Amino acid sequence: MSLSVTELGIQIPDAAIEKFDHIDDSALARIIKDASSPWILSCIRRFAVIEGDCTNSNGKGLGRVSSESIPRLGAILNREFIEGGCDSTFLQAAIERSIHAGYITVIALTGAGNMPILRADPDQLWEDWVPKSYSVPEDGSDLVYNNCNIDTFWSAVLKECGFKKAYKNLMKGEREYSEVANSIGNLCCTGVGLFAAERLQ
């Protein structure tokens, strides 16, 4: 599920909007609606508030063993945010959209949406999801990377919010290691972990 389809519902920069003529709009809207239960959205919003907190420099985010392998996005953006000129209000919505897109991708592209829901209580789901949020199998990560249009969406988001240094760091990810690309790419995959926590034993 591309992060850049307008049907996901939040306002995003025009440069990030992607329209798919080969997908029926009503079918896409129905998939998104079915994958937008109150307990799923509650957990995603709760996660996004912590992940996107730019006022906190602590890189240890939810679901990680340490801050070194996958630093928290808000911590990466902290210094640039403190220096001023950046708007973080849009950031949380972009994080929510990223996690949700990973979750929807599993539903839409694997047929797993027919699996029964085992955890519909938001508190129970949260407790099950967070410890395994970043423990995503390689095929799950590949599914997200290949279908969610991560770089296009996030380059537009960072530019729109005024995070110029983070934008440059993300862009260099095509040539060398980028902590911004690493953090965002793995963040998008947490939606796969959310699906597993909701529907797998």
Is the pLDDT reported for residue 18 higher than 60? no
User: Is the model more confident about 7 or about 67?
Assistant: 67
DSSP annotation of 8: G
Q: So what's the pLDDT on residue 28?
A: 66
Residue of 63, 101, 64, 61 whose CA lies nearest to 195:
101
Is the pLDDT reported for residue 17 higher than 50? no
Q: Quote the distance between the C-alpha of residue 115 and its chain's center.
A: 22
Query: How would residue 119 be classed by pLDDT, with cut points 50, 70 and 90?
Result: very high
Is the pLDDT reported for residue 195 higher than 80? yes
Whole-number Cα distances in Å, 183 to 18, 122, 137: 23, 25, 17
Domain spans in the chain, listed from the N-terminal domain onward: 6-199
Q: What is the pLDDT of residues 120-168, one digit of tens each?
A: 999 999 999 999 999 988 888 888 888 888 888 899 899 989 999 999 9
Q: So what's the pLDDT on residue 16?
A: 40
Q: Which two tokens stand for residue 84?
A: 């001023």
Is the pLDDT reported for residue 8 higher than 60? no
